[in-house]
Amino acid sequence: MASAAEPDPDHERIEFVVRDAVIEADGGTYLWDTGVPADAADVWPDPLYAAFEAHDAPDHGFADGLADAGYDREDVDAVVMSHPHLDHAGNLDAFAGTGTPVYVHREELPFAFYSAKTDEGSIAYLASDFDGDPNWRVVHRDRHTLAEGFELLHLPGHTPGLLGARVETPEGTLLIAGDERYVDANYAEGAPLGPGLMWSERDWRDSLETLRELERRTDADVLHGHDLKRFETLASRY
């Protein structure tokens, strides 16, 4: 960010990762987010695509990604929508008419529709992502056990109803921070998200401490929302 001392700082373009995940817990198969649509260049608003160029989206189709992980759509018992921003809900229409439960937090859903259906709120929600009339299942509390060893966490800040998770695995505890943390600097250094990426900085900092406390108590690994290096490290472990 610019400052009086450095009014024109250099900027570096970096490569982010946008990832979905399949979580097996207590006999159920859960899909975490539905990712970027293959036609993002055509459907995303120009300012957002210019800032977050999904350059290889056509190479990573939704069905192909599931197949690479050993699943297809019919295997998914429920979807967890961390938050329905356009880079997380881009293939939600794959579950249109299926009756598959789609979990979303109570504080997120009204803000998402308000943003998508009016000229106010946030540009990052697309009305077309909700056209399939998903089978919404609303999470009301700060913590919600979805299955044994799979707990949803309300982590407001980036958005009002952002969901993260605590997942118990044979390899240890994994905390999914999601977009509460884009990259490691947001977590390790407490550097806030960039302009336009924060719904509430006060809530964001509270959620930061919630995650740090859980990490200390459980000796967990923390998976950030878009940090490519962290993703590659943890993907090899889990």
- Residue 32 pLDDT > 80: yes
Q: State how beta strands 101-105 and 150-154 pair.
A: unpaired
Per residue in 128-149, pLDDT (tens digit) is 999 889 999 999 999 999 999 9
- Whether 171 shows a pLDDT value over 80: the answer reads yes
Q: Mean pLDDT over residues 92-106, rounded?
A: 96
Could you tell me the residue ranges of all domains in the chain? 21-237
Beta-carbon neighbour count of residue 100 at 10 Å? Answer: 18
Alpha-carbon distance of 156 to 31, in angstroms, equals 21
Check pLDDT > 90 for residue 187.
no
Give the pLDDT score at 9.
87
Where is 12: in which H helix or E strand?
none
Whether 19 has a pLDDT exceeding 90, the answer reads: no
Query: What fold does the segment set 21-237 form as a domain?
Result: Metallo-beta-lactamase; Chain A (3.60.15)
What's the confidence (pLDDT) of residue 62?
Answer: 94
Predicted TM-score (pTM) of this structure: 0.93
49 is written with which tokens?
């695509």
Residue 157 near residue 206, CB atoms below 8 Å: yes
**Cβ atoms within 10 Å, residue 68:** 10
Under the phi-then-psi rule, with left for phi > 0, alpha for psi from -120 to 50, and beta for the rest, what region is 179?
Answer: alpha
pLDDT for the residue 194: 80
